[in-house]
Amino acid sequence: MNTHTRLPKKSLKSTPDTVTTGPIAGSRKVYAAPASHPAMRVPLREIALSDPGESPVRVYDSSGPYTDGDASIDLRQGLPLVRQAWIAARGFAEVAGRAVRPEDNGHVGADHLVAPCPARRTLQAGQPGQRVTQYEFARAGLITEEMVYVAHRENLGREAALAGARERQADGESFGAAIPDFVTPEFVRDEIARGRAIIPANINHPELEPVAIGRNFLVKVNANIGNSALSSGVAEEVEKLVWAIRWGADTVMDLSTGRNIHNIRSWILRNSPVPIGTVPIYQALEKVGGDPVKLDWDVFKDTLIEQAEQGVDYFTIHAGVRLAHVPLTASRVTGIVSRGGSIMARWCLAHHRESFLYERFADICDIMRRYDVSFSLGDGLRPGSIADANDAAQFAELETLGELTRIAWDKGCQVMIEGPGHVPMHKIKHNMDKQLATCGEAPFYTLGPLTTDIAPGYDHITSGIGAAMIGWFGTAMLCYVTPKEHLGLPDRDDVKTGVITYKIAAHAADLAKGHPAAKLRDDALSRARFDFRWEDQFNLSLDPDTARAFHDATLPKDVHKVAHFCSMCGPKFCSMQITQELRKEAKALEAEALAGMAEKAREFREGGGALYVPAAE
């Protein structure tokens, strides 16, 4: 997903030389283990509530050890090796690996060279005939530890939370998705084997806390980060990742270009608990001096191997931009807006031949399979304006992506499909339906879509609307858009706003799909609201800091945090307070009404119980 997001240098000046750590306000990190794997440590965030009658609420937690108050973070060591034993048991060959070359770091001079992360890992690669990918294990009927992990992670302990419920908590319209009441490892395996879900998990990324992406799981959110060409420290580069996952990003795409990208990527991967995605064509282009025409298979292949060995979990590959598709964009209002798409279109036209990504697709699969790098098949021809939505170019590419999906599956690879872009509301569902039909239900991963073009400065909102809808319709992961989209480089506040907006969209989608446990958090927060448990309301929100700050802005005193009123109506007259008084009276009235019904029933029985009584003449 190649939207344009690099953090500007100026935002870095305010960041310290360490990354943000510590629990999110009002919660603590807990670890749970499935009964079958008592040593497994599946992270959750637990929000304790002030009412003794309320159970703590456990929520999905993508933030990694950074929010664990007991963890000690050392960027040079990298994160704990969650998957090391699992991977080791699979018997992959240790490989020497490709030697780092000057062009990998953009020919940076020695005086500006950023050292690579000193944390060293054993470099591994799958061999022909050996099962490597989650897809291959799933197809063989084998449940991996990653599948066990994500099953437990997705459940959020809802066996316990729902145990007391008399009825299924959720309703919803799932549009053909089939979210089970409880996620089992076998369900995960089956979804992966059917191509409906992926667990992006490079065998060279042992620090990963596995994540399921598929429409029968919680809707996920991706945040894009990128390097600052002039930054000197690595802590601030890792901080972008840490900051995005703190607020809920499930995966992060590193869209860096320029100098030191290879070495900075090593810091990011060794310190990332979430899947990292990249767009390898960006770095390949750097290696040929920035001229798309000079790209070729060799430099691209070299870049794939370079990044796969580092542990990148998924690659955006724009193999669907075929020569014949390019003329279809000629009459568009906004042409080709994807960087990867325009690179490949330029290459195809300049050479007047078919895309080498398309022609070499089987070779790309062989490389990616060897490390279990998942495909994110790029939508290089996505619409960049309302006018271009759902046009011939977009859907011609989607057809090709469907064809490529089947090839990748045949090769044993995991696949997801990237989607638009700018789409008005009435054309969104068609995108989802067509993607499911064309791409064999492979997970859809969309950028927004933006539902209007007229609000630069607010495109997190124009796109959050579309993201919520397409998430409801079946999109598995939503790529965030920040307020700076189309205008500039996002700062920390923009990244946080983008992530929170997309967590809202993803959760609204989960609710609407009828996810069995999604509503538990809404209900807990609404009960806190109704009971004037202000601290609980803040802590249950997606962003406790902002909720508390907004309350403080009007009612700053501690005593107001337990007040049975708020600043909107004030203490004199509060609808919630009145309702609480009403409840008692209403219950009495209800009892009376029931008594009245009992009286009617008595009359009915005494009247002989006839369903119809003769009309008076």
Residues annotated in the binding site, as ranges?
A: 224, 253, 282, 318, 338-340, 379-382, 418, 422, 445, 486, 566, 569, 574
Q: Which one, of 239, 231, 297, 234, lies nearest residue 272 by Cα?
A: 239
Single residue of 586, 595, 597, 598 touching its own copies by CB under 8 A? 586
Tell me the per-residue interface mask from 551 to 570 with its own copies, x by CB under 8 A, - otherwise: x-xxx----------xxxx-
Contacts of 597 (CB under 8 A, 6+ apart): none
Q: From the annotation, which residues make up the binding site for Zn(2+)?
A: 422, 486
Tell me the per-residue interface mask from 354 to 383 with its own copies, x by CB under 8 A, - otherwise: ------------------------------
Only segment of 122-130, 136-144, 399-407, 520-528 that touches its own copies (CB under 8 A): 520-528
Say whether residue 246 binds its own copies (CB under 8 A).
no
Say whether residue 419 binds its own copies (CB under 8 A).
no
- Of residues 587 through 606, those in contact with its own copies by CB under 8 A are 587, 589-590, 593
Cβ proximity of 422 and 3 under 8 Å: no
Size of the residue set binding its own copies (CB under 8 A) = 116
Report how far apart, in Å, the C-alpha atoms of 163 and of each of 49, 459, 526 are.
19, 41, 20
How many beta carbons lie within 10 A of that of residue 142, not counting itself?
Answer: 13
Cα–Cα dist 282/224, whole Å: 14
Cα–Cα dist 439/341, whole Å: 19
Closer residue to its own copies (CB): 5 or 63: 5
Closer residue to its own copies (CB): 369 or 513: 513
Cβ proximity of 123 and 96 under 8 Å: yes
Say whether residue 285 binds its own copies (CB under 8 A).
yes
Closer residue to its own copies (CB): 70 or 585: 585
Q: Which one, of 117, 183, 200, 195, lies nearest residue 376 by Cα?
A: 200
- Of residues 312 through 331, those in contact with its own copies by CB under 8 A are 324, 326-327, 329-330
Q: Which one, of 459, 447, 451, 461, lies nearest residue 416 by Cα?
A: 447
The least CB distance from residue 147 to its own copies, in Å, is 28
Cα–Cα dist 290/343, whole Å: 10
The least CB distance from residue 467 to its own copies, in Å, is 9
> Beta strands 314-317 and 276-278: pairing type?
parallel
Cβ proximity of 148 and 184 under 8 Å: no
Polymer length in residues for the chain: 617
- Of residues 462 through 501, those in contact with its own copies by CB under 8 A are 462, 464-465, 468-469, 472, 483-484, 486-489, 491, 500-501
Cα–Cα dist 485/461, whole Å: 11
The least CB distance from residue 51 to its own copies, in Å, is 14
The least CB distance from residue 397 to its own copies, in Å, is 15
The least CB distance from residue 537 to its own copies, in Å, is 6
Cα–Cα dist 323/242, whole Å: 40
Only segment of 4-12, 16-24, 128-136, 191-199 that touches its own copies (CB under 8 A): 4-12
The least CB distance from residue 69 to its own copies, in Å, is 23
Closer residue to its own copies (CB): 238 or 386: 386
Say whether residue 505 binds its own copies (CB under 8 A).
yes
